[in-house]
Amino acid sequence: MTETFVVVGGDAAGMSAASKAKRDDPDLEVVVFEKGQWVSYGACGLPYYIKGEIQSLEALVSVTPEEFRQERDIDLRTGHEVTAIDPDTRTVTAERTEDGGEIVQSYDHLLLATGAAAVEPPISGTDREGVYTLGSMSDGKELREYVARARSEESFHQSDRGPACQYLEECSGPVAVIGGGYIGIEMAEALAENGFEVNLFQRGDRLLKGFSEETSETVLEHIEHQDVVAHLGSEVESIAGRDGAGDGGGAGGSEAVGAVLTSEGEIPVEMVLLGTGVRPRTALAEAAGIELGSTGAIATDAYRETNVPDVYAAGDCSEAIHTVTGDPVYVPLALTANRHGRAVGQTVAGTPTEGGEVAGTAAIKAFDVEAARTGVLDHEEARAAGFDPVTKTVDARSRAGYYPEGGTVRVTMTADRESGRLLGASLASEYGEGAVHRSHAIVAALEGEATVFELENYDLAYAPPFNTTWDPVLVAAKVLSSAIQ
């Protein structure tokens, strides 16, 4: 009898699972429910689309719905939102967006790949016109349209100018980006490069809080140099309308954005982007009795199976085990979603496959700087996992000192004092000077549970156009190793 594999959610995790399962077991019936119209798209590319470096939204789609249906023989139902799961009858109920009609689909294996939703910060006025988030393709489309409109409207060029704008040849008028993480910084770049005066608000005292302080500082200095006005330790309390009233006055929530009110005072802006992080979409799972973990995301075993038999979870709705600490963590990123999805597909098709752990690795480009982080950097987190963390930071040349090109790679590295075990690292360099690709070595060392004493002896490639004889990674390991011994 033909088995049915039902997938809820048609992005990275869901479509990876569907494709892999169907490829490995062509007899399997694979049904995917996706509430929107877009599937399998590179959300990570949206800031570059908004910036204008990528011309069409379609370019972000790696496989089209038609290709999934026709070439991969997957029963992909876009415009279908799954509203309930019944583990007893092994069925899901889905609602057609188009006409509200309901269908009930039975499954033998079920994957929840419901992704993450933007966190709505506790700020009043987020429903005003001119307030955006960036999670979906349609968000991306709206933002690009906003940029295009603003650039062409004279009125935007006559608005009040802040300090950043005096250096720009052509300047659109001030916008607010709330949140100093990936989305916030990438969007600050996309907007600033389009001539907007960007105010970046970060509640904490530094950007990119998962990276090392030194990396955060490098990125901060650079984006300020690019005329982004960074407001650190600044809590946005409300988004006001054009009359400046805190809660929109007579026009209510629909009045267009005019200012943000912060602990520092009122700052006039014409647009607000909320980049305050994401949270796992778990409501559907919870209603079906599927357990969440300590992180608030869906808990699974190593094979991505939840507490309910034959129900799996993958990607941004679920948690994963950390390579270094062995503890569950919530790190919603693209590679993990793909990897977990693929593993579930393989498992469902008959070859039980573990989803793998995560090292909390992340990378970002901010204007002309690149940065990456991996492992455990936070001392409190390291101590909670039983380590005695020691951290060192080095600035090292990215290429031979005499080589005509080159810059600086700043490496922050953390290890356990007792064992010397490498715990994590954070790297920053000029864009093109290799901070991100060098982080690959750190990840590999973490996966192998290497010590810094071992790492400093790695036989890394050397030639003058690529590094100094001791690559910055080795220099950092040497300095840290000396500090521990």
Residues that bind its own copies (CB under 8 A): 12, 42, 44-45, 48, 53-54, 59-60, 62, 323, 333-336, 338-339, 354, 356-365, 370, 372, 374, 400-404, 431-432, 434, 436-445, 447-450, 454-455, 457-466, 469-471, 473
Which residue of the set 44, 165, 171, 317 is catalytic? 44
Alpha helices in 90-210 (DSSP H): 137-152, 154-157, 182-192
Two tokens, residue 97: 């967006």
Q: For the chain, how are helix, strand and coil distributed in percent, rounded to 5? A: 30, 30, 40
> Cβ 379 to its own copies, closest distance in Å?
21
> Cβ 263 to its own copies, closest distance in Å?
32
Quick one: 90 or 397, whose CB is closer to its own copies? 397
Quick one: 147 or 240, whose CB is closer to its own copies? 147
Q: Backbone phi, then psi, for 284, in 5-degree steps?
A: -60, -45
> Cβ 226 to its own copies, closest distance in Å?
16
Q: Cβ(254)–Cβ(222) under 8 Å?
A: no
Q: Cβ(107)–Cβ(92) under 8 Å?
A: yes
Quick one: 235 or 354, whose CB is closer to its own copies? 354
* Residue that has been written with the tokens 């004279």 in this structure: 154
Quick one: 130 or 332, whose CB is closer to its own copies? 332
Q: Is 380 exposed, middle or buried (0-12, 13-18, 19+ CB in 10 A)?
A: exposed
> Cβ 444 to its own copies, closest distance in Å?
3
Q: Cβ(228)–Cβ(219) under 8 Å?
A: no
> Cβ 373 to its own copies, closest distance in Å?
8
**Chain mean position to CA 90:** 33
Q: Cβ(182)–Cβ(362) under 8 Å?
A: yes
61 secondary structure, DSSP code = B
Quick one: 10 or 125, whose CB is closer to its own copies? 10
Phi-psi map region of 302: left, alpha, beta (phi>0 left; psi -120 to 50 alpha): alpha
CA dist 233 to 175, 178, 204, 402, 472, Å?
18, 12, 5, 41, 32
Q: Cβ(147)–Cβ(363) under 8 Å?
A: no
> Cβ 320 to its own copies, closest distance in Å?
9
Any catalytic annotation for residue 44? yes
Q: Using CA atoms in the order 70, 75, 76, 77, what is the torsion angle rounded to 10 degrees? A: 130
Among 375, 377, 370, 402, which residue's Cα sits nearest to residue 392? 377
Residue 440: what residue type? H
> Cβ 299 to its own copies, closest distance in Å?
19
105 secondary structure, DSSP code = E
Q: Backbone phi, then psi, for 394, in 5-degree steps?
A: -125, 150
Among 73, 122, 79, which residue's Cα sits nearest to residue 100? 79
> Cβ 474 to its own copies, closest distance in Å?
8
How many other β-carbons are positioned within 10 Å of the β-carbon of residue 244?
12
Quick one: 54 or 271, whose CB is closer to its own copies? 54
- Residue 350: in which H helix or E strand, if any? none
Q: Is 252 exposed, middle or buried (0-12, 13-18, 19+ CB in 10 A)?
A: exposed
Q: Cβ(368)–Cβ(222) under 8 Å?
A: yes
> Cβ 220 to its own copies, closest distance in Å?
19
CA dist 181 to 131, 201, 274, Å?
18, 10, 11
Residues with catalytic annotation? 44
